[in-house]
Structure 1
Amino acid sequence: MLPSERLKKVIEYLNMDIEPFSKSIGRKRSQGIRDVLSGKAKTIDDKFANQIILAHPNISKVFLMTGEGDVSNLENDAEKEAQSNKEEDNSYLTHRRDKKNGDDEDLIPIFDRTLAMQGRITGSLIPTTETDKTGLVRKDMFKNAQFVIRSSGNSMIPTYPSDAWIGIRRINERILNPGSVYVIDVGSDLILKRIYYKDDDQYSGFLVCLSDNTMLEEGGARKGKLKYPPFEVSLTDVLGVYKVTDYYRPNEIEVLK
């Protein structure tokens, strides 16, 4: 399979157009992608492949580089994993709850701390101590997460509903994938937003936080303006950055106390 065909299948699998796909992998311009799709560029180099995998971990690098196997990496495909888990019987959860001296290595902690989707809150931050956990959930439901917290607010609707359980894992803030969703820990605030570097400059020292909810104010001095406008956060104020790995609606998982 030619590189152009492999890349086309990847973009089709992600259900994206070329320009959004280019932005999702951190590229300012899409010409390099168009060159591969047209056949002008004869290979997909390792740097290009890594940009795609970092932004879309459900894509198989083996397929991208060789054409072998499936487009999606089934072990990292969160959507397929979540769907599979939703269809499973709950007998395993019952077994874990009833097991008095069981090993919890296949469970991860839930910290029921409100996560700000629209601004400023105060309260305990992540990561919290082991004694602060409020429950446990199956690790394979949040396969790549370190722990699970709860969201609140409407600024990330329709992508993330209010009160959703959010799986997160800590990353290095210097290797953010612009346009992806992260949890930012800034002292007394936890923020769930779509993150970009200011001026698309990785070394600007600032992150730009955008909401998915593009609702406009209907009245007052801000009529016609975004209800959830973008704002900047200085990297010097950031205590931790967490990649969102999965999410479930409140009624889609069972928390083990």
Structure 2
Amino acid sequence: MNGELAVLAEIPRSLKEAVTGSARSLTRIRAAAILLGGTWALMPGTVAAQYTITAENGDTVQFESAALRTMLDTARALWTDLEVDLRVRYMTPAVNRVERVPVAAETPAASYPWNAVQVVDDSLIDVRNLPANLREADRAYYNYAVQRMRVVRGADPDVPCDSVLALEEQVVGSFIDGWILSRTLFGGPAFAPLDELVFARRAGLLRPLLARLNDPQVGACAGIWVDENPERVAAYDAWRREKFPLPGEGEEET
């Protein structure tokens, strides 16, 4: 038995199955993970591992364990802010019981964080209506809620639309990090519309995606940005049709 297989043999069977699943495969089996208090913790001192997210089209994106550890630390810090910030009330499913509704990939609008998280005012944000079938990704929505409220409370009303989109891009980036944790460490299922956010960021197309999807958090700036950046929007449209076509879209072109 070589060194890599020896390391794998020392990991409990249930854990091996968790970290080598198709949606979150460990491409170099030279790391171990342990479950502490219901939270995955990457063991220090182990050789770096790569975790993979695979899109429906077969494209993959990989993440080193160190990057995931940073995302996890950030998510924990943002959750602490959510709990202790006395200036803002966060209405979450855990505290404010609501009947959660599943979201279908064919009609994904309610899964996007800019729709699922509702800013009521600068001291109240509603995070209750999270998708029932994406519970492992709750921390991603909490990431978004805290970061979005920071933008709201520190907003400068006199900024160009590109800056407004840039801020939302950063906030959505925090959601994407949480979604990556869901897909790689917490057993979350694949969901193509949210996987698209991961791959769009990787391709440098997240900002035109937000404008094209008319993210309500940026208001009229979505349409203005589309008009002012036709080449970037066209690049996103072409990329999306190739990588994440809408139902029936490919059939119409054949």
TM-score by length of 2: 0.29
Structure number with the higher strand fraction is: 1
Structure number with the higher helix fraction is: 2
